[in-house]
Amino acid sequence: MLSVVDHPLIKYKVSLLRDKNTGPKEFRELVQELAMFLTYEATKNLELTEQVVETPLATTTGFVLCRKIAIIPILRAGLTMAEGVLKVIPNAKVGHIGLYRDHKTLMPVEYYAKLPIGIEDMVCIIVDPMLATGNSIRYTIDLLRQQGVSQIKVLSIIAAPEGIDNVLSCGDIELYLAAKDERLNDEGYILPGLGDAGDRLFGTK
Ligand code: URA
């Protein structure tokens, strides 16, 4: 399932992100804010169970989430998105995945993985701001499924069509985007995109 979330504030904030004159402080804030919007959309179908609540005046029916939530940022650009998701779901667990790209095969190689205990029963939200080839997200989906995870949502800010197809071909995935761009260039950057998200977030390069 693909959802390119259509909202004037999302369009406006993505435009600010794209602007080469936007500095790291504003860039980080925008990534967090966009992650919050995407989380709101992506969590609309979470299951609830009823629970009795005592207000100061009466007894009423309240709700709690049926399942715990794990946020899975792909290092390093996913970290800032995870902070945005945590603002909306502060009790979520966080599992980190570190991948680098092998220069010969161009495929992701894992250098770090630390996942919450009991992840197999959680709703997992993978976050990575740029969905380019989709290979890193695909790797992460496979890794989570190997751990027994069945409900996976992916949040990215900007995606290329190639990456979208790659992720959706994993099957039974909910993919939420703020923008769908035109294509990848020969170096694997999204066009028009916003450049290297990690460098712009952390002021490197
Ligand atoms: N990663 C980025 O940071 N930017 C792109 O355009 C593609 C991958």
Q: What is the pLDDT of residues 4-58, one digit of tens each?
A: 999 999 999 999 999 999 999 999 999 999 999 999 999 999 999 999 999 999 9
Residue 46: count other Cβ atoms within 10 Å of its Cβ: 14
Domain 2-48+64-202 annotated CATH 3.40.50.2020: yes
Quote the CA–CA distance of 14 and 37 in Å, as a whole number. 12
Q: For the whole model, what pTM was predicted?
A: 0.97
Q: How many degrees, rounded to 5, is the angle at CA 24 between CA 21 and CA 28?
A: 120
What average pLDDT does range 62-91 have in this prediction? 98
CA of 120 to the centre of ligand 1 (A): 30
Which residue's C-alpha comes closest to atom 5 of ligand 1? 189
106, 191, 194, 204: which to mutate for ligand 1, most atoms within 8 A of CB?
194
Q: Are 126 and 137 in contact (CB under 8 A)?
A: yes
185 contacts: CB under 8 Å, gap ≥ 6: 191
Catalytic residues: 101, 105, 196, 199
Where do the domains of the chain lie? Answer: 2-48+64-202
Task: Give the ipTM.
Answer: 0.96
Quote the CA–CA distance of 5 and 157 in Å, as a whole number. 10
pLDDT score of 21 = 97
CA of 118 to the centre of ligand 1 (A): 32
